[in-house]
Amino acid sequence: MEERKKAESMSMEGLVEHACHFSANVFAGRRDKFEALVAGQHPEILMITCSDSRILPELLTQADAGDLFVLRNAGNIVPAHGAGCGGEQATIEYALAALGVRHVIVCGHSHCGAMKGLLHPELVQGMPRVAGWLAHAEAAHSILSERQQDLGEDERLLQAAKENVVVQMANLETYPAVRARRARGELQIHGWVYLIETGEVLSYEPQSGEFGPLFSPSRPAATRARSADR
């Protein structure tokens, strides 16, 4: 089997060049849009996703500046309410209280390094902070182990990513502000898994407890059209 070609990453020099191009060309062509955002941001969506460099929330959703409030960390983890006071809890609080977001998306992905560390603790033995952080996802590992499915490594890793999304959605529900907003019908929580290899997005269906294609025939035609127009 041929070895997969490694994707070339951008150098620091290339990054600076692109930043200069943005200032001189992209920004100049959309000045009105960015100047309007100076007055404030009003995103309706908080997206909690992984820090993995292969995940680009705005590219994946075709969102524009001001559309998404994004929280990123290793493994798209949401510590349960009361499990310390970190950046995650502060970001979620701000999104709810200050911005009034109406949707929260927890988005995991295939080939996740955090999930690999969760399944194989020996890989993070020299990284005590990472190991401690992954403890917030241990329930996903336990669920996967209890099911005792005969899966290959890649399938098991993908299943871990799915279980982790569901676990983190449940952790969100431990936040009093989330429960209150949900009770009033002012907040919806969505679970996604992005497949790096195909570009497909899977969406969690609470009724079945399974993940299915986000873009399915069962979705309302108007919703699909809006997504396509973005």
Contacts 24+ apart (CB under 8 A), 123-127: none
Which of these, 157, 168, 192, 158, lies nearest to 45 by C-alpha position?
A: 192
The residues near 32 (Cβ < 8 Å, ≥ 6 apart) are none
20 a catalytic residue: no
50 a catalytic residue: yes
Whole-number Å distance between alpha carbons of 151 and 5: 26
81 a catalytic residue: no
> Which of 18, 42, 54, 120 is flagged as catalytic?
54
112 a catalytic residue: yes
> Which of 107, 109, 136, 141 is flagged as catalytic?
109
CA distances 52 to 73, 116, 125, 159, 193, Å, are 8, 13, 20, 18, 13
DSSP strand pairing (210-213 vs 103-109): unpaired
> Which of 67, 112, 136, 181 is flagged as catalytic?
112
Residues with catalytic roles: 50, 52, 54, 109, 112
